[in-house]
Structure 1
Amino acid sequence: MKAVLAAVLSSAIAVVAIPPGIPSESTARSLLSSLTVAPTVNDGTYDRDLFPHWSAVEGNCNAREFVLRRDGDGVTVGNDCYPTAGTWTCPFDGETHSVPSDVSIDHLVPLHNAWMTGASEWTTAEREAFANDVDGPQLWAVTGTTNSQKGSDAPDEWQPPQTNIHCKYAAAWIQVKSTYDLTVSSSEQAALEEMLGRC
């Protein structure tokens, strides 16, 4: 009985890390009202390589390694900054992983979505900064399959299966779009407003 209770308690206290810089509901609503609403323009010119990603962000840590260290529980890293131990609980689906290669680093606002909503006009340096932003809520440690299911979808097309993260997800999305002056479509705006209603 004690072993069963310990297992239940252990699973109940899994550490779910949330990236920094997510605004409150009221701030998110204010930011959302100031975003430019415009059609998403997919002209077929997007290429992931236009966003240099997993660049060095601190010492010998690249952005991916930095987020694995930041958002894991009990993480230890080697001299190359790659994790040697730790666990990561995905905020999107609640799954916990202990193998770093099973964890994907999700660009909350996908690179393709950014390209279609303003980033096509940026310099390469600006796109690199966006793709490696560890200071705001743009990079999340998530389950690989869930990240693949999301793909380049905006919130009107995909939302995390864990509904208890929807408020923070929407607020984070709005913050990133506001920080980088990216547009939102009308359906995206409506979906974000709906998600904020679950706060």
Structure 2
Amino acid sequence: MSLADLSTRTADTTAQLLPALAERWSPRSYDAAAVIDEEKLNAALEAARWSPSAANTQPWRFIVARRGTPAFDAIVANLLGFNATWAGSAGALIVALAEVIDPEGNERRWANYDLGQAVAHLTIQAHHDGLHAHQMGGFDAQGLREAFDIDERFVPVSVTTLGTVGDPDALPDRLRERELAPRTRVALDDILVVNA
């Protein structure tokens, strides 16, 4: 697949979706020479800021690090497995934190759910603006906590790459195969427990 073949990544859906949803995918190949577009990065973060949350608590916080900064290097140093081999080419890395305890010490039961919505909004806005995002769970949460002195009320939930798609041929063989594999999903009927 070349950059010209990105249209082949559009989902084969059973219902018509907004283009930003149908075309969204999570690449591992990023252009390591491309600098993150600050206006597009800001728009993605603004989309996260305006996502819904239980009782409007907005329990999300983000660590945003651009490639070439010590903060970026600290995040890469805490990525695990294959993530450490490819994520360093992204233009930016974003650590998503959920505020699971409020300032008064009360549990925020929906914090992880709300953070997930915020990151979803971020990824869709980024894709709409021509950037690509890939969310990862393979990271050392304690390492990130120590690297950024994260308050105990907050839990690192995910790390998201953000940037410009690059050539998949730059990836190691196993990752390139995954990058080029057809997109698949469980059938819609299979995810509906009840559809009365």
Q: Give your verdict on TM over 0.5.
A: no
| Length-normalised TM-score, structure 1 | 0.26
When normalised by structure 2's length, the TM-score is 0.26
